[in-house]
């Protein structure tokens, strides 16, 4: 595998030439989100017949991966994902993508301490700027650690990506071995579902906990974004943002002047995030906007960094919670759905923040095989992964109310969670709780 001479300028080569460097058994890295390569991916898939056991790390694939589509039986390529998108989930269900457990904010350290050097890193970037840097766009994450670990670095440049500011958000030409021209298609968008009535009911309860000057972390999904919509209608002012994912809801709050960051202790005046996925309008808001700062994920997600801002409000979804408060947010039994992401780290960072609150939200029910089922349960579905332990959960919210589990006994927790379950399931849950001695007889609070 050729390695260019460090003092020579990085040459521009074809995607086919770049793909020819790949050998059987290699570890490749496609990066995450907006940084995943498309032209290289297609070229590599075309050469797949001569390769075996090529392993590719990726995260949040926003477009189909040619290496998976053209190799449905896994004869040549294997995908390993740090966090599933809808596409990654489908590949997982087909046996073509495997999940890597993590706390998202720790991933740079994994590359530096625990993973063997990447054979080839291929990252989509903005074209080189006047200072010789290829901007990672709105996906800083762990890409610096990938570059530092890689034996070879290839950038696929695209004019379709937003250029965003942030600490070390790019790779210098001196660190790049080869450049390939991308297809310049616009950055992939993530549709924002319209909030349901349940989303809005939950959001109203959460919004009532947010005061002037609070610092927000907004997770992905309809409920957290519904909170942003309600805050647009409220009188709350001077909000700050220190989050993992930049969402459309945050961008809309910023455009109306509700987000100023003026009361933040860490990075005052800045909307701090590590990656963005959303609409083209949101990308346009962040593009070359000095108020937005895309930092590395160990900066945004580490609890000791999160807690440096006062009154951090962390808002995240879960899919199931048991009567002791264990939140399972990433799987349906052994079927993996998404990932731990930054949920646990933000739960801990928000709690440690002066005046902070971590909030886990969920609808009280869901439908399976045409039947309504409770998301609040005696026992988690067998195989379900606990994303946030019972010892860490603070506020839990459904459309029927909000409870705080901190400092509560198992009996108090069970009673509190039953009180916000759907009314049709409360009697059954209470009976189960007594049968399994989660609720003690004769005790009142």
Close Cβ partners of 17 (under 8 Å, ≥ 6 residues apart):
178
Mean pLDDT confidence for 41-66 = 97
pLDDT at 377: 98
- Identify the residue with better confidence: 191 or 129: 129
Helix (H, G, I), strand (E, B) or coil at 35: helix
pLDDT at 426: 98
Close Cβ partners of 320 (under 8 Å, ≥ 6 residues apart):
327, 328, 362, 375, 376, 377, 380, 381, 384
Tell me the H-state helices in 110-173. 143-149
Give residue-wise pLDDT tens across range 145-200.
999 999 999 999 999 999 999 999 999 999 999 999 999 999 999 988 888 999 99
CATH 3.40.1080.10 intervals, the chain: 15-181
Please state which CATH number belongs to domain 15-181: 3.40.1080.10
Place of tokens 């927000």: 216
Rounded Cα distance between 147 and 117, Å, is: 10
Considering the entire predicted model, what is its pTM? Answer: 0.96
pLDDT at 414: 98
Closest by CA to 412, choosing from 370, 440, 375, is: 440
Helix (H, G, I), strand (E, B) or coil at 55: strand
pLDDT at 9: 76
Rounded Cα distance between 224 and 216, Å, is: 10
pLDDT at 318: 96
pLDDT at 235: 85
Give residue-wise pLDDT tens across range 366-393.
998 899 999 999 999 999 999 999 999 9
Give residue-wise pLDDT tens across range 212-251.
999 999 988 788 888 998 998 888 999 999 999 999 999 9
Place of tokens 């603070």: 394
Please state which CATH number belongs to domain 197-435: 3.40.1080.20
Residue 3 pLDDT more than 60? no
CATH 3.40.1080.20 intervals, the chain: 197-435
pLDDT at 233: 87
Give residue-wise pLDDT tens across range 297-342.
999 999 999 999 999 999 999 999 999 999 999 999 999 999 999 9
The token pair at 276 is: 């963005």
Tell me the H-state helices in 208-246. 222-233
Tell me the H-state helices in 142-271. 143-149, 197-207, 222-233, 248-255
pLDDT category at 441 given cuts 50, 70, 90 is confident
Pairing of strands 292-294, 271-273: parallel
Catalytic residue among 42, 156, 175, 244: 244
Is the Cβ–Cβ distance between 351 and 360 less than 8 Å?
A: no
Is the Cβ–Cβ distance between 185 and 38 less than 8 Å?
A: yes
Rounded Cα distance between 118 and 330, Å, is: 27
Tell me how far apart the 2 most distant CA atoms of the chain are, in Å.
Answer: 79
Give residue-wise pLDDT tens across range 398-424.
999 999 999 999 999 999 999 999 999
pLDDT category at 70 given cuts 50, 70, 90 is very high
Residue 2 pLDDT more than 80? no
Q: Residue 163 to residues 124, 169, 192, 292, 298: CA-CA distances in angstroms?
A: 12, 10, 22, 11, 21
pLDDT at 224: 84
Close Cβ partners of 165 (under 8 Å, ≥ 6 residues apart):
288, 289, 290, 292, 293, 294
pLDDT at 6: 53
Burial 93-115 (b: 16+ CB within 10 A, else e): eeebbebeebbbbbbbebbeeeb
The token pair at 83 is: 């966090």
How confident is the prediction for the chain on average, in pLDDT?
A: 95
pLDDT at 442: 74
Rounded Cα distance between 379 and 384, Å, is: 10
Residue 8 pLDDT more than 80? no
Helix (H, G, I), strand (E, B) or coil at 374: strand
Told to judge if 244 belongs to the known catalytic residues of this protein, a careful annotator would answer yes
Closest by CA to 15, choosing from 36, 45, 40, 37, is: 40
Residue 114 pLDDT more than 60? yes
Rounded Cα distance between 415 and 401, Å, is: 13
pLDDT category at 60 given cuts 50, 70, 90 is very high
């Amino acid at each position: 595998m050729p390695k260019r001479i460090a003092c020579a300028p990085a040459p521009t080569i074809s995607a086919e030439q770049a793909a020819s460097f790949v050998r059987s058994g290699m570890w490749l890295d496609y990066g995450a989100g907006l940084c995943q390569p498309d032209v290289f991916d297609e070229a590599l898939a075309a050469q797949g017949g001569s390769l075996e056991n090529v392993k590719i790390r990726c995260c949040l694939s926003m477009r189909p991966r040619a290496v998976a589509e053209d190799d449905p039986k896994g004869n040549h390529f294997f995908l390993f994902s740090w966090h599933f998108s809808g596409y990654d989930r489908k590949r997982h269900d087909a046996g073509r993508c495997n999940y890597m457990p993590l706390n998202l904010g720790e991933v740079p350290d994994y590359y530096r301490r625990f993973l063997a050097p990447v054979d080839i890193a291929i990252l989509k970037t903005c074209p080189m700027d006047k200072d010789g840097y290829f901007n990672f766009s709105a996906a800083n994450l762990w890409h610096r650690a990938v570059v530092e670990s890689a034996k070879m670095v290839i950038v696929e440049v695209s004019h379709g990506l937003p250029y965003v500011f942030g600490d070390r958000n790019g790779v210098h030409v001196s660190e790049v071995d080869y450049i390939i021209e991308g297809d310049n298609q616009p950055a992939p968008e993530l549709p924002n579902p319209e909030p349901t009535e349940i989303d809005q009911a939950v959001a109203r309860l959460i919004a009532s906990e947010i005061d002037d000057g609070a610092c927000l972390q907004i997770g992905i999904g309809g409920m957290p974004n519904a909170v942003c919509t309600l805050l647009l209608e409220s009188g709350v002012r001077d909000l700050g943002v220190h989050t993992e994912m930049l969402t459309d809801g945050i961008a809309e709050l910023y455009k109306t002047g509700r987000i100023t960051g003026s009361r933040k202790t860490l990075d005052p005046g800045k909307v701090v995030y590590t990656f963005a996925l959303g609409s083209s309008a949101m990308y346009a808001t962040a593009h070359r906007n000095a108020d937005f700062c895309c930092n590395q994920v160990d900066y945004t997600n580490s609890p000791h960094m999160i807690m440096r801002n006062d009154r951090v409000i962390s808002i995240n979804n879960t899919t199931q919670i048991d009567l002791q408060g264990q939140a399972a947010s990433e799987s349906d039994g052994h079927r993996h759905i998404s990932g731990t992401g930054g949920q646990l780290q933000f739960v801990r960072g928000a709690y440690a923040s002066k005046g902070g609150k971590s909030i886990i939200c969920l609808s009280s029910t869901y439908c399976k095989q045409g039947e309504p089922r409770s998301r609040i349960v005696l026992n988690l579905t067998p195989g379900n992964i606990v994303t946030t332990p019972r010892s860490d959960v603070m506020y839990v919210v459904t459309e029927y109310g909000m409870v705080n589990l901190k400092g509560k006994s198992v009996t108090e927790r069970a009673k509190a969670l039953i009180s916000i379950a759907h009314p049709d399931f409360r009697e059954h849950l209470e009976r189960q709780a007594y049968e399994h001695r989660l609720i003690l007889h004769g005790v009142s609070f």
